[in-house]
Amino acid sequence: MTAAEKKVYYNRVRRTCLLHNIDIVYDGVPKMYCGVELVKDGVTVFADRATERKPLDINWKRLHQEMTDYGFKGGVK
């Protein structure tokens, strides 16, 4: 996935999270994230975690698709 495409899907996920009061929680330090979780009311709804010791390449497109499949649509513009 190109950087421009990642940015598009990151913004879609971020806006949808703002609309539905979902928190984005990163696990790790910047540039070395090993996980990202989308948390609503204290419950992890969606997550993406690294399986190896390498930094996670967050798949924002997959997270956006999962959110859409579960009915979290739209976003703040």
- Per-residue pLDDT tens listing for the chain (77 residues): 789 999 999 999 999 999 999 999 999 998 899 999 999 999 999 999 988 888 888 999 999 999 999 999 887 66
Question: Domain-by-domain residue ranges, the chain?
Answer: 3-69
Q: What is the pLDDT of residue 76?
A: 67
Instruction: Report the pLDDT value the prediction gives residue 77, as an integer from 0 to 100.
Output: 66
Query: Which pLDDT score, from 0 to 100, does residue 24 have?
Result: 96
Tokens 């999962």 belong to 66
Coil vs helix vs strand at 35:
strand
The 23-29 sheet, strands edge to edge: 23-29, 32-40, 43-49
Task: Tell me the whole-structure pTM to 2 decimals.
Answer: 0.87
